[in-house]
Amino acid sequence: MTFEDAINLMPLYAAGELDADRSAALDALLAESAELRAEFEAWRSLRAATNRALRAEALPAGLHERVMASVSTPGASEPRSKVIRLWPLLAPISLAAAIALAVLISWPSEAPQPAAPGNSAPQIAQRPPDSGNPNIVPAAMVSPQPFAKVFNYCAEREHHKMEGVPLSTCCAARDAIAKRATFSGSVLIPDLSSAGFKLDGVCMCCPFRVEDLHVVHAYYRAEDGRVISLFSLDRPLKLEGADTFKGALREYQVARVEGADDVINGVCVLAWNDAIRDETFAACGRLSEADLQGLADQAILALSPPSVPVALASLPR
């Protein structure tokens, strides 16, 4: 399979509709090409956004009728000559476009509600929304230290030890790290065993005191004793004092905790944002920046089972 063939087949691959032989050939190319992995991630993100749109709430009452009335022409006489339609799909497509346009214009926008007074942690400073688009969720500036504290308390000190967390081999989702359908449902946790890290526990301990911030914290342990944490947070965040660099798959922010408590000194925090879902993911551990980025890349490219479906209601907080 050539590089061009792989690019052309990427939509089918991202949809999981490629036959086994071509899928295996594309898997091999993905393992060798960072450019192909980035192309796949773009298609995966597009499919995720499309699926969310298709699962959206029903149209407001009466909208369909209003759109139909606006595009109809009552009283128009039928043409005397028979018209041969060269493009029979043009009319349905035009109607669909009109309905979509009406939804975009008339759908009520929901601005993010501010947190109740006293619930915002002092280390989170909200910046004003970007002037260009009022619907852009602003990124909050946060310190890397709270991530390191949760990592030390829950992962290193095994506060939420969960013996026998199973890896499900029947999960059909081909998706990236910790994707939520709804927060009351479940999440998918990536399998990092090929990198030598096995899932050791999952909790919902939040590094920040914010009422409506939802967090899933999974942590992994290697046979040599190394531990890493993987956080999923449902809003865009920026790390204070972090260096930013472009990796093969994402733009990463990296900061190492220094000058704090002895128990968290030297902990490295690597974060990246998912612009499609307005979420932030953060990897945390006593590893080098390069090793932590390698694990983050593998988590993002967790394309196939086994993944770990975890019911959020059962997790410790």
Omega before residue 134 within 30° of 0, cis = no
The model's pTM is: 0.50
Answer with the residue of higher pLDDT: 236 or 82.
236
Provide the pLDDT for residue 34. 83
pLDDT at 201: 81
pLDDT at 198 > cutoff 50: yes
Domain ranges of the chain: 3-54, 140-314
Spatial CA neighbour of 282 closest among 301, 255, 260:
255
Distance separating alpha carbons of residues 249 and 267, to the nearest angstrom = 23
Q: What is the pLDDT of residues 33-75, one digit of tens each?
A: 888 888 878 777 777 666 655 555 455 666 666 766 765 555 5
Mean pLDDT of 111-138: 37
Q: b/e for 237-276, b at 16 or more Cβ within 10 A?
A: bbbeebeeeebebbebbbbbbeeeeeebeebbbbbbbbee
Closest alpha carbon to 12 in 50, 33, 43: 43
Residue-level pLDDT at 111: 33
Q: What CA–CA distance (Å, rounded) separates 37 from 159?
A: 36
Residue 163 pLDDT greater than 50, yes or no: no
Closest CA to 295 of 197, 187, 158: 197
DSSP string for residues in 260-298: S-TTTTT-EEEEEEETTTTEEEEEEESS-HHHHHHHHHH
Measured between alpha carbons, how far is 11 from 94 in angstroms, rounded to an integer?
25
Residue 182 is predicted with a pLDDT of: 36
> Regarding predicted confidence, which is higher, 94 or 47?
47
